[in-house]
Structure 1
Amino acid sequence: MARPTPLSGFPEWLPDGRVVEQHVLDTLRRTFELHGFAGIETRAVEPLDQLLRKGETSKEVYVLRRLQDEAGAEGVADRSEKQLGLHFDLTVPFARYVLENAGRLAFPFKRYQIQKVWRGERPQDGRFREFVQADIDVVGAGELPYHYEVELPLVMAEALGALRDVGVPEVRILVNNRKVAEGFYRGLGLEDVEGVLRQVDKLDKVGPESVAELLQAEQGATPEQAKACLELAAIAGEDVGVVERVRALAASYGAGTELLETGLGELAALIEAAARRAPGVVVADLKIARGLDYYTGSVYETVLVGHEQLGSICSGGRYDTLASDGKNTYPGVGLSIGVSRLVSRLLSAGLVAATRGVPTAVLVAVSDEEHRSQSDAVATALRARGIPADVAPTAAKFGKQIKFADRRGIPFVWFPAGPGAEGEPVADALAGQVKDIRSGEQVDAHAGSWAPPAEDVHPRVVPAAAG
């Protein structure tokens, strides 16, 4: 077989990287469950018409079809089945899941979901075509209290904060409220609110001058209106002083509206709660727009401090109409972490390390093939007590077996007791000696009672400097 050509955008971590990814996933899952979120999983495919409801996503959806479509009598491919696409996020599948199971769910329904998603975009640093997302959402039936818009970013701050001790940088959760933006734009006389939001969402990519030009060319804004939009986007801060600055700006342009005041009240409540529970983590940033058209209230983006050029690793917001069957509406609020994006930065920047890439804590040496069953018995006894153990693949010289363990980061090597006098079977097959190959210390041990230190039982993730 010829050497395969790598596919860009489809990350495959080495064992050490997988240990890091699994630690991140376990930490997120544990935190979500502490806050009452129930885990679910949805199918990988959705009807194409449903996937395309989320806004400007048609270029990103991978369509699913058989290599050879069935043909009818006239040789025309059968199109009776719905066209399917791989889901590019977990929010649209979750909305469908809620509608299909509404009669069996208790509302408000809190769920977390950790799955792979697929997105047809150009691969680059931190952006993949296949990646893992971890979502939390709360959905209500008919209504959803505003306090959930405060709770969710704080849960996410706690989850990411729980990773700080292994070397994950600080995070900043940037928040805004779509009611603020919509109220301000309408107060200015700009009616294409979704269009304005899409342009403002490009600020970090193209800069304010280009956004001003786009607002005038595509949304029909005057230079004065474009200037006002950019001034609003420039407002940021960690306290409720942000609200007064927006009010002052709106007054200067005569852009005050009732919707604007409603949004500012909600934004103030979020900032005040965050200042009490996670000071310095949640920051109001009026340029956060989230260009997707279904957000209706709070919107969030999250950056790693010192790695802002990576972009948002976690985003989301409030949505009121995404899950609706025409009679009933299930408003929700959610956040999604791009786990693969986060892990890729942790690994590429050398921020974290795994203590080893294999689960094995003890390699049981083999004295000779005739006595391999004794080594197997030792490994079995260790595993029965929850200690990951493996048996050496060959009965090589002990020095080579130690090197085998060392190359894999296995900290301990077990040497079974040898045969008794005149080749008699050993009295206790589970007895022997165990060596810590890091320190060289070797002691008598018994597989029914000996255990490695707790920190060596399983691979751990640590700051890279301690790896």
Structure 2
Amino acid sequence: MSARPTPLSGFPEWLPAQRMIEQRFLDRIRTVFELYGYAPLETRAVEPLDQLLRKGETDKEVYVLRRLQADADDASDAALGLHFDLTVPFARFVLENAGKLHFPFKRYQIQKAWRGERPQEGRYREFTQADIDVVDRDTLGFHHEVEMPLVVADALSGLPIPPVRIQVNNRKVCEGFYRGLGLSDPDAALRAVDKLDKIGPAKVAALLAETTGATDAQAEACLALAAISAEDASFADAVRALGVSDPLLDEGLEELVRVVEAAREHAPGLLIADLKIARGLDYYTGTVYETVLRGYEGLSISSGGRYDNLASSGTDRFPGVGISIGVTRIMGLLLGKGALGISRSVPTCVLVALPAEQRRADCDRVAAALRKRGIATEVSPTAAKYGKQIRYAERRGIPFVWFPGEDGHEVKDIRSGEQGAASPDTWSPPEPDLRPVIHEG
């Protein structure tokens, strides 16, 4: 007797009902991405290790690819690894295909990625991401930074999930403020402030003194900046009230005001300027986005920002802005809390009852006529008593059972018990029953 298999932690496998929810999420996200003009792209699962290891902090997370029976002198596969995000392969794709692309190039990617980190709530070793990016040659218009959160808001607002809150900041605001204070290492200051939620303001102040040489007054000003947040442009007045001036700070505030005001017009209450958002600012060069679900504020479900150094080749430079939705993270969070459900566990809307095995061909013709009109239909697997066939439909949540007769057909809504004559060429179910309906649990 073989042992029962043990699930692999961090590699989620959804049940069919859960997978239908995920597919519906992906359909919604894909549709919205295309409505905004993003073209589909899928890159290979593997990249050269030297490309994947450019970000030093991911060294221990990359899955290396090798053949079990590889020849000792064949190192071709040993130099490959599975991608841990979709940004690295996208940068490589842009460089390889720059001569074939039309700029600005807008693409979306919905793919799996692999990251060998310790599995915990919201973190997986295999996961699906949905990314959009816009890249251009040499320069990139700021209006793309304004559009990013609007696309994500439209994609997520059509899903049965809690409301989202998009937090935004701008690298130029932080760096310009630190420069204006007289701090010589803005990157070190960003890294210190990024630890605010984990270690608290007192330890961040000490870290600022240790890593940047900040005085007590300078550290206090950094913490005052991080404490500012607003849903409207008033955050800019709060920053200016701190009495720090720098041209880069002024530029960053102007950009952040544009992002916030556009979002307020598009979807009031969606976006908040939160100047403690520092994660990724050492990589991003402009606006940065972090998205959370209301009630699940501990984990970001979508993040991204403006980058000017994604890819370069010789004198060519390709700045861009992008944002990623963590589809698996959203699914895991909500399914784990029982906060997502679906009206039935199969796509089937109609079960055609089988009066006798000899009638299967007739029943198949009924099913084919219904399918031709877009109604998901299956024929009963056995010619059991009708009561058993109805129970088969009930267990799967199939709402209608079709009874074929030699002189006509009838269809029954097994939830209400209503039954009436019907023709496979004209009958249609109520619109809400046509496909499984996702709902909050």
Distance 2:184 2:75 in 1: 40
Bigger CA drift: 211-220 or 182-191? 211-220
SS of structure 1 residue aligned to 2:68? coil
> Residue in 2 aligned with 1:175?
168
* SS of corresponding position for 1:317: strand
Contact (CA 8 Å) 1:54, 1:293: kept in 2 or not?
no
Q: CA deviation at 1:13?
A: 1.4
- 1:452: which partner in 2? 429
Distance in 1, matches of 2:26 and 2:192, equals: 34
Give the root-mean-square deviation of aligned CA atoms.
1.8
Deviation per CA, 1:74-102, whole angstroms, max 9, x where unpaired?
Answer: xxxx4356711211111111111111111
Residue 108 of structure 2 corresponds to residue 112 of structure 1? yes
- Unpaired stretches in structure 1, ≥5 consecutive residues: 73-77, 418-425
Deviation at 1:214, TM superposition (A): 3.1
Worse overlay, 403-412 or 181-190: 181-190
Residue 27, structure 1, aligned to residue 28, structure 2: yes
Map of 1:372 onto structure 2: 360
Cα distance in 2, alignment partners of residues 330 and 241 from structure 1: 33
Residue aligning to 1:5: 6
Does structure 1 residue 246 correspond to structure 2 residue 239? Answer: yes
SS state of the match for residue 98, structure 2?
Answer: helix
Match of 1:289 among 278, 288, 295: 278
Q: Which residue of 1 aligns with 2:209?
A: 216
Structure-2 residue corresponding to 1:66: 67
Aligned-partner Cα distance in 2 for 1:374–1:82: 57
Task: Provide the residue aligned with 1:274 in structure 2.
Answer: 263
Q: How does 1:353-432 map onto structure 2 within 5 Å?
A: 353-417=341-405, 426=406, 431-432=408-409
What one-letter code is carried by the residue in structure 1 that aligns with 2:421? D
| 1:219 CA drift (Å) | 4.2
Q: Summarize the Cα distance change of 1:82–1:98 in structure 2 as closer, same or farther, 3 Å threshold.
A: farther
Structure 1 residue 292: deviation in Å? 6.0
Aligned equivalents of 1:84, 1:293: Cα separation in 2: 27
Task: Report what 2:227 is aligned to.
Answer: 234
Q: How does 1:50-89 map to 2 (within 5 A)?
A: 50-54=51-55, 56-72=57-73, 78-79=74-75, 83-89=79-85
Partner of 1:144: 140
Deviations 1:361-410 (A, max 9, x none): 11111122222222222212221222111111111111111111100000
User: CA separation of 1:462/1:287 partners in 2, compared to 1, >3 Å: closer, same or farther?
Assistant: same
Q: Is the 8 A contact 1:55 1:292 kept in 2?
A: no
Tell me which moved more, 195-204 or 3-12. 195-204
Q: Which residue of 2 aligns with 1:193?
A: 186
Deviation of 1:237 (Å): 0.7
SS at match of 1:296: coil
**SS at the partner of 2:280?**
coil
Question: Given that residues 135 and 320 in structure 2 are in contact (C-alpha distance below 8 angstroms), is that contact kept between their aligned partners in structure 1?
Answer: yes
Distance change >3 Å, CA 228–CA 137, structure 1 → 2 = same
Q: Figure out how many residues of one structure are paired with residues of the other and give that number.
A: 440
1:158, distance to aligned residue in structure 2 (A): 1.8
> Which amino acid counterpart does residue 264 of structure 1 have in structure 2?
L
Structure 1 residues 294, 119: CA separation in 2 closer, same or farther (over 3 Å shift)?
same
Kindly report structure 1 stretches of 4+ aligned residues shifted beyond 4 Å. none
> Do structure 1's residue 158 and structure 2's residue 154 form an aligned pair?
yes
Amino acid at match of 1:287: K
Shift of 1:459: 1.2
1:264 pairs, out of 210, 233, 253, with: 253
Q: Matched residues in 2 for 1:445 and 1:98: separation?
A: 56
Deviation at 1:298, TM superposition (A): 0.4
- Letter of the aligned partner of 2:317 in structure 1? T
Distance in 1 (CA, whole Å) between partners of 2:100 and 2:52 is: 24
The DSSP-based 3-state class of the residue aligned with 2:318 is: coil
The one-letter code of the counterpart of 1:188 is L
Residue aligned with 2:61, SS: coil
Aligned mates of 1:231, 1:239 — CA distance in 2 = 18
Which AA in structure 1 matches 2:21? V
Q: Which amino acid aligns with 1:106?
A: H
1:134 aligns to what?
Answer: 130
Distance of 1:436 and 1:224 partners within structure 2: 72
- % of aligned pairs identical? 64
| Mapped pair 1:40 → 2:29 | no
- Report the 3-state secondary structure (helix = DSSP H, G, I; strand = E; otherwise coil) of the residue aligned with 1:96: helix
Q: Secondary structure at the match of 1:262?
A: helix
Would you say 1:99 and 2:88 are equivalent positions?
A: no
